[in-house]
Amino acid sequence: MNNEELIKIFEYYIPDPKCSLNYTKDYELLIATVLSAQCTDERVNQVTKVLFDKYDLKGLANADIKDITDIIRPCGNMNRKSIYIKEIANRLLQEQNGIVPNNREYIESLPGVGRKVCNVVLANIFNENVIAVDTHVERVAKRLGLASNKDNPLQVEKKLDKRFKDKLGRLHHQILLFGRYYCKAKNPLCEGCKFREICKYKNENNW
């Protein structure tokens, strides 16, 4: 199956791909993405509605850390994440005039921010041609033979980048959402799937 055929199928399943995290400011997406580690986007959106309604960036920098911890508790790992939030807010204010820069090295230097979080920010705020490999993207890529089962997330990212080149921004959300709603880790919706002919999961499970 060539790239055009693959993209056409992703378009069929996810015709309106967009970020699942709610935000109105660049730092809100950054913080929401940090909170999304080991947490669903739905729960993060519930938490950030309270957090961002109460605090702007300066407010977060000066907030009582216990209050931040209490608000973000449903996201898990709240003690560490609350520290990340305060430090991110302080650094952005002190070093970047409160603006998230289009600078991978700087963004990845922020606490709680790795390559995946950085790629989400770069793709959504700056329309950079990058793909964030989370568990959904990794699972779909491996099941469809776009990456090897032994590949780590960075290797998966490089293979998708090499194969799809300038299509990654839109495709990122399509692969992620396809994995979340169709090609699920447990009980994937395999019956009638348009990727069946190339799916390793189907072959391994004798569908």
Supply the residues annotated as catalytic: 116, 134
Asked if 120 and 102 count as a contact pair (C-beta separation under 8 A), the reply is no
Q: Which two tokens stand for residue 147?
A: 């990456």
Distance from C-alpha of 170 to C-alpha of 55, rounded to nearest angstrom = 31
Distance from C-alpha of 202 to C-alpha of 87, rounded to nearest angstrom = 45
- ∠ CA 179-202-19, nearest 5°, is 10
Q: Which two tokens stand for residue 123?
A: 């793709």
Asked if 45 and 103 count as a contact pair (C-beta separation under 8 A), the reply is no
User: What H or E segment, with its residue span, contains residue 64?
Assistant: none
Matching residue, tokens 């779909």: 140
Q: Which two tokens stand for residue 155?
A: 């290797």
CB atoms within 10 A of CB 40: 13
Which of 141, 139, 134 lies closest to 120 in space, CA to CA? 134
